[in-house]
Amino acid sequence: MDKIALISGASRGIGLETGKQLLELGWNVVFTARNMHEGRPLVNKLREKWKSAWFHQLDVTDEQSISDVAEYVEDTCGRLDVLINNAGIMIEENHKIMDVELEDLHKTMATNLYGPLMLTRTMLPFFKDSKDARVINVSSRMGQLSGMEGGHAAYRISKTALNALTVVMAKELEGEGIRVNTICPGWVCTDMGGPDANKSIEEGADTAVWLATADKIENGKFYADRKVIPW
């Protein structure tokens, strides 16, 4: 079987586009999404062209849901080469840190930080048969400490934490041959980015696809437009 990727939050936007571009390159792609009724029909449509497209429901905040998708990967593919932690939310208004509801902060951290951690932990055994295992975390410049500003406090904090998680995982997993990196897709014209964004969905998916497929990449870095950027 050719290269295999699993993508969280892949029923729309950057996740869906990343999967489509990998399919074009001949990859097997497991698309996952919290909403099964939205995700499955989309992937069934993709399967009319690419039989290597697969779907399973996944809520990254639910440990049982993560276990279920792991069982699906084991039964369907038996291994993984790339995990793309793309699922993410921005549920709060443009709140300052002193105004943000703690419930919003908890919910945001559950999806944007704990979700990638739990999913990566669970999928770790499936990398053992890969010759070039990679984890790609989808972050944002809004979590970049070197350019940190105010507003959207919960989202910013969650992405800064995801960046820290990337570095820790990169250091701890490099001995197992697994490279872990973070990307900022940019301001992309998606449901989250809005219609005024300056990047197309195709452009937003480019760095993730490149990190998944490039012959040589670094480890434990923050990338945007295929270049390393400061944390």
Residues marked active site are found at 155
Q: Report H helices in the chain.
A: 13-24, 36-46, 63-76, 102-109, 115-123, 153-173, 201-213
φ and ψ of 24, to 5 deg: -60, -30
Q: How far apart are CA 9 and CA 224, in angstroms?
A: 20
In the chain, the N- to C-terminal Cα span, in Å, equals: 36
Q: Which residues touch 196 (CB under 8 Å, ≥6 apart)?
A: none
What string of DSSP letters covers 99-132?
TS-HHHHHHHHIIIIIHHHHHHHHHGGGGTT-SS
Strand partners, 49: none
123: nearest Cα among 108, 131, 110, 133: 133
